[in-house]
């Protein structure tokens, strides 16, 4: 259901035309061949084939639809929109053309029009499961879970008991806070098929409902099948009331790979995340000649690099576990290179004294334990270099590190300050305040600036 099947150009009536029931489809062969060439990436031959089809039947919307898919694959977004809008103009009520335009709009974050087109095609073809898959995909991309739930329920009317539809519905209901129905769906899935995906789904739903202790039978069953699986150990620690040291790599990869394309817009516009801009402004004031080396831990989509502007005179190195995030960061062309690695491993494996700045912005809410990270950060800094990191704030009366229900770690301010002092940092400056917003409420945290002394001691 995550990706809509493409419309099959040879299996539907050509919209907007009148043909004899026995008349051959004049473009069928060319369209099938063009689709195969597009799938293979042979766009030059695909274009030649579509030109032949267009000469035979210039008003065939299927030609323009495939032309739009070909243009998008070639990186020509303007051409893709032009071709797909032409297809829709020729056949306003033709489902495949509408769906492909809606999907392109969603991929380009133009969600209002994408959802409008998706709802229209769902009305036109209410029993088409390919259309249903595309509409649900668009709703998820847009973050409109209510829309997704509505169409998933409709899908289960068409295909009662479908496991994938039930999984998606249970997940979305959990995110909407409808925990009882979500858990009922997951329990039914586990009873029907106690595979890992269903047990993990129920564990996550129990976590979201604040009932993580009830997940112990599932976590124990998962570990019995795969005792070395880090993700299962993580969930079992939570179910037994233990605080893990960090989120497992699989969980972070799943989270950030899935949101890479929307991360900048979500963080900056929706959550009002301004820390990269604030840090970049201060660094440029500290190094007006732009001569400094930066290790950007958990660089994500490269927000810090974007805020620094043109490439620095030293080198800017990005570290992130998500390949999709790094792919987004690389588009800005301000980083010298990237490493796809856990931030703890990156710090351990980096030689001493290379950087004037080590930045870890919104990293340790996922990477967790700072006990080894802070001393390693001091080691890789050059004398006089700066560590800057952010943490969500934990209650000073509680443990040094806690894991919230949403899966993010929070740290005690006093604990982080003590770690910096023990590592030999000086000029430690800690500023309290909101880091971003969640559900329009500020998330309180703190930002640490700590300097490695000019001389070793």
Residue 51 covered by a domain: yes
Residue 424 covered by a domain: yes
Q: Domain of 344: which CATH number?
A: 3.40.50.150
pLDDT, tens digit (0-9, with 9 covering 90-100), for 366-383: 888 999 999 999 999 999
267 and 379 share one domain? yes
Residue ranges making up the domain that contains 84? 9-154
pLDDT (mean) for 57-64: 88
The proportion of the chain whose per-residue pLDDT surpasses 90, expressed as a percent, equals 64
The C-alpha atoms of residue 340 and residue 360 are separated, in whole angstroms, by: 15
Residue 3 covered by a domain: no
Give, as one character, the DSSP assignment of residue 393.
B
48 and 89 share one domain? yes
287 and 372 share one domain? yes
pLDDT (mean) for 119-142: 95
State the pLDDT confidence band at 262, using cuts at 50, 70 and 90: low
Residue 1 covered by a domain: no
Residue 456 covered by a domain: no
Residue 160 covered by a domain: no
Is residue 426 within 8 Å of residue 384, measured between CB atoms? no
Q: What is the pLDDT of residue 272?
A: 57
Is residue 324 scored above 60 in pLDDT? yes
213 and 273 share one domain? no
Is residue 11 scored above 50 in pLDDT? no
pLDDT, tens digit (0-9, with 9 covering 90-100), for 333-344: 999 999 988 899
Using CA atoms, how far residue 169 sits from 153, 165, 235, 349, in Å, is 8, 6, 22, 43
Number of domains in the chain: 3
Kindly report the number of other CB atoms within 10 A of residue 398's CB atom: 10
Is residue 2 scored above 60 in pLDDT? no
Q: How does the average pLDDT of the chain come out, rounded? A: 88
Of 242, 265, 298, at which residue does a domain stop?
Answer: 242
The C-alpha atoms of residue 194 and residue 198 are separated, in whole angstroms, by: 6
Of 191, 218, 242, at which residue does a domain stop?
Answer: 242
Q: What is the pLDDT of residue 348?
A: 92
Report the predicted TM-score, pTM, of the whole model to 2 decimal places: 0.75
pLDDT (mean) for 318-332: 88
66 and 24 share one domain? yes
- Which residues neighbour 414 within 8 Å (Cβ) at sequence distance 6 or greater? 396
Residue 243: half-sphere exposure toward Cβ, Cα within 13 Å:
18
* The two structure tokens encoding residue 100: 């492909």
Of 93, 125, 154, at which residue does a domain stop?
Answer: 154
299 and 372 share one domain? yes
Is residue 204 within 8 Å of residue 185, measured between CB atoms? no
181 and 144 share one domain? no
298 and 432 share one domain? yes
Exposed, middle or buried by CB within 10 Å (0-12, 13-18, 19+), for 196? middle
Residue 249 covered by a domain: no
Q: What is the pLDDT of residue 342?
A: 87
24 and 127 share one domain? yes
Q: What is the pLDDT of residue 249?
A: 77
Lowest mean pLDDT among 14-23, 284-293, 386-395: 14-23
State the pLDDT confidence band at 260, using cuts at 50, 70 and 90: very low
pLDDT, tens digit (0-9, with 9 covering 90-100), for 186-242: 999 999 999 999 999 999 999 989 899 999 999 999 999 999 999 999 999 999 999
359 and 280 share one domain? yes
Is residue 94 scored above 90 in pLDDT? yes
Residue 196 covered by a domain: yes
């Amino acid at each position: 259901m995550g990706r809509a099947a493409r419309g099959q150009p040879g299996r539907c009536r050509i919209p907007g035309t009148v043909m004899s029931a026995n008349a051959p489809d004049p473009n069928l062969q060319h369209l099938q061949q063009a689709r195969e060439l597009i799938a293979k990436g042979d766009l030059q031959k695909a274009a030649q084939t579509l030109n032949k089809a267009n000469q035979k039947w210039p008003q065939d919307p299927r030609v323009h639809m495939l032309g739009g898919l070909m243009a998008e694959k070639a990186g020509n977004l303007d051409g893709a929109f032009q071709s797909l809008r032409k297809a829709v103009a020729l056949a306003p009520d033709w489902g495949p053309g509408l769906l492909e335009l809606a999907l392109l709009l969603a991929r380009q974050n133009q969600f209002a029009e994408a959802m409008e087109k998706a709802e229209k095609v769902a009305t036109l073809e209410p029993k088409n499961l390919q259309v249903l898959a595309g509409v649900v995909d668009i709703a998820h991309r847009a973050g409109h879970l209510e829309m997704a739930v509505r169409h998933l329920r409709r899908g289960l009317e068409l295909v009662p008991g479908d496991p994938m539809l039930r999984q998606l519905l249970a997940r979305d209901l959990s995110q909407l806070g409808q925990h009882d129905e979500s858990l009922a769906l997951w329990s039914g899935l586990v009873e029907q098929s106690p595979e890992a995906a269903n047990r993990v789904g129920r564990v996550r739903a129990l976590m979201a409902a604040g009932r993580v202790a009830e997940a112990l039978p599932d976590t124990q069953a998962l570990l019995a099948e795969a005792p070395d699986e880090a993700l299962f150990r993580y969930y079992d620690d939570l179910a037994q009331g233990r605080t893990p040291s960090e989120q497992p790599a699989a969980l972070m990869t799943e989270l950030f790979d899935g949101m890479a394309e929307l991360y900048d817009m979500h963080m900056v516009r929706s959550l009002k995340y301004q820390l990269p801009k604030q840090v970049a402004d201060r660094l440029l004031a500290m190094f007006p000649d732009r001569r400094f080396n930066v290790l950007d831990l958990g660089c994500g989509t490269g927000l810090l690099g974007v805020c620094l502007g043109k490439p620095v005179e030293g080198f800017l190195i990005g570290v992130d576990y998500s390949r999709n995030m790094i792919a987004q960061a690389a588009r800005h062309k301000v980083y010298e290179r990237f490493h796809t690695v856990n931030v703890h491993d990156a710090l351990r494996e980096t030689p001493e004294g290379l950087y004037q700045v080590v930045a870890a912005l919104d990293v340790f809410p996922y990477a967790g334990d700072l006990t080894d990270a802070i001393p390693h950060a001091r080691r890789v800094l050059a004398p006089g270099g700066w560590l800057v990191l952010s943490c969500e704030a934990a209650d000073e009366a509680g443990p040094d590190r806690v894991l919230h229900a949403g899966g993010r770690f929070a740290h005690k301010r006093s604990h982080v300050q003590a770690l910096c002092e023990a590592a030999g940092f000086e000029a430690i400056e800690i500023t309290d305040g909101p880091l971003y917003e969640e559900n329009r409420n500020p998330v309180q945290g703190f930002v640490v600036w700590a300097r490695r002394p000019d001389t070793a001691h």
